[in-house]
Amino acid sequence: MSDPIVGIVMGSQSDWNVMRHAAEQLQSFGVPFETRVVSAHRTPDLLFSYAESAEERGLACIIAGAGGAAHLPGMIAAKTIVPVLGVPVPSAYLKGMDSLLSIVQMPKGIPVATFAIGEAGAANAGLFAAALLARNDGSLASALNAFRAKQRDTVLAMSLPPEE
Ligand code: RP5
């Protein structure tokens, strides 16, 4: 197993059903990653040690997903210059609007790249991480281009019912 170059962290095991879509994208492109449960408010010391060690452990970026008052991505970004990709996980009462706003509305100075709520956001965060890494990895760039070409061909082959 290669050392992980992307970290996928989430505030709870209950986030996995969304965050697994980031993992699946990375897996499909052969990008080595690690997955961890790190809660900003329930395991703050773990959050600090995870974020503080990320750079020296060779992580190129961290995908962080959380729901509700989702301070995990912002707090990780506060403790490392490794780029953080935030994924708002849908929440029980506000359907993830709370997660989205608490991740996207970072005050100036500590950036978090924020993705869509839920599965699409998690998958796109995985794809975005792969795209970042592809700048220095020709075979990964080719694989991403092939992935795009496949989507293009799928859409070009779509048909609609004949007009009346
Ligand atoms: C957040 O609270 C987590 O990211 C999760 O989305 C939400 C609920 O957590 P659990 O009560 O399911 O552990 O911290």
Amino acid identity at 157: A
The total number of structural domains that make up the chain: 1
Indicate the DSSP class of residue 43.
S
Nearest atom of ligand 1 to the alpha carbon of 66: 4
Q: Which residues pair with 36 in a beta bridge?
A: 9
Range of the domain at 85: 6-156
Residue 163, domain member (yes or no): no
Q: Is 43 in the pocket of ligand 1 (CB under 6 A)?
A: no
Burial bucket for residue 21 (CB in 10 Å: 0-12, 13-18, 19+):
buried
The C-alpha atoms of residue 1 and residue 32 are separated, in whole angstroms, by 8
pTM across the whole model:
0.97
Tens digits of residue pLDDT in 122-136 = 999 999 999 999 999
**Whole-number mean pLDDT of the chain?**
97
Nearest CA to ligand 1 atom 12: 14
Please name which of 72, 60, 61, 80 lies closest in space to residue 103, comparing C-alpha atoms: 72
Q: Is 15 in the pocket of ligand 1 (CB under 6 A)?
A: yes
CATH code of the domain covering residue 111 = 3.40.50.1970
Residue 100, domain member (yes or no): yes
ipTM: 0.96
Residue 102, domain member (yes or no): yes
Q: How many CB atoms lie within 10 A of CB 109?
A: 7
Residue 162, domain member (yes or no): no
